[in-house]
């Protein structure tokens, strides 16, 4: 299962004293100022990685306990979880249910799971 947080960089608030590092001037009379993280700013990935490692990955291991040893690979706001047996896949469904009930902003268009021999996305365009 591959999950991605929606607009993850824009959800990280930046301290007011650091806003100047994210400002740019396009015209002489106006300055564009970002008060939240922007794409390419590594602080957003840093904070998402810390949150997901501390909460999401530990939650997965806490819920599953002794049934199996899940592989949860994390990069910033992307989570890849590997499962092979039917019970493991059912556990991943429980994890998705809990993440959505917590309000984790999943980007459903990039959400993937392997069913049989074909890849299935939950939302198609």
Mean pLDDT by 10 residues, the chain (125 residues): 77 81 84 77 72 78 76 77 82 83 82 56 47
pLDDT at 50: 79
The pTM score is 0.61
In a domain, 22, yes or no: no
DSSP 54: I
pLDDT at 83: 81
3-state secondary structure of 66: coil
- Name the residue among 39, 41, 40 with its Cα closest to residue 15: 41
Tokens 């990955």 correspond to: 57
pLDDT at 111: 79
In a domain, 53, yes or no: yes
In a domain, 26, yes or no: no
pLDDT at 41: 65
CA–chain centroid gap for 36, Å, is 17
pLDDT at 4: 82
| Cα–Cα dist 59/19, whole Å | 33
pLDDT at 115: 54
Which range marks the domain in which residue 102 is found?
2-8+42-121
Is-contact 95 106, C-beta < 8 A?
no
Q: What are phi and psi of 100, to 5 degrees?
A: -70, -35
In a domain, 24, yes or no: no
- Structural domain count, the chain: 1
Length of the chain: 125
Query: How open is the CA angle 37-41-46, to the nearest 5 degrees?
Result: 85
């Amino acid at each position: 299962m591959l999950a991605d947080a929606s607009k993850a960089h824009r959800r990280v608030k930046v301290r007011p004293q650091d806003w100047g590092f994210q400002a740019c001037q396009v015209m002489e009379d106006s300055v564009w100022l970002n008060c939240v993280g922007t794409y390419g700013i590594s602080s957003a990935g840093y904070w998402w990685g810390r949150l997901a490692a501390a909460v999401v990955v530990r939650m997965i291991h806490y819920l599953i306990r002794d049934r199996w040893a899940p592989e949860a690979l994390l990069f910033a706001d992307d989570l890849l979880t590997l499962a092979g047996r039917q019970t493991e896949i059912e556990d991943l469904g429980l994890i998705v249910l809990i993440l959505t009930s917590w309000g984790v902003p999943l980007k459903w268009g990039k959400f993937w799971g392997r069913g049989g021999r074909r890849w299935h996305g939950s939302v198609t365009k």
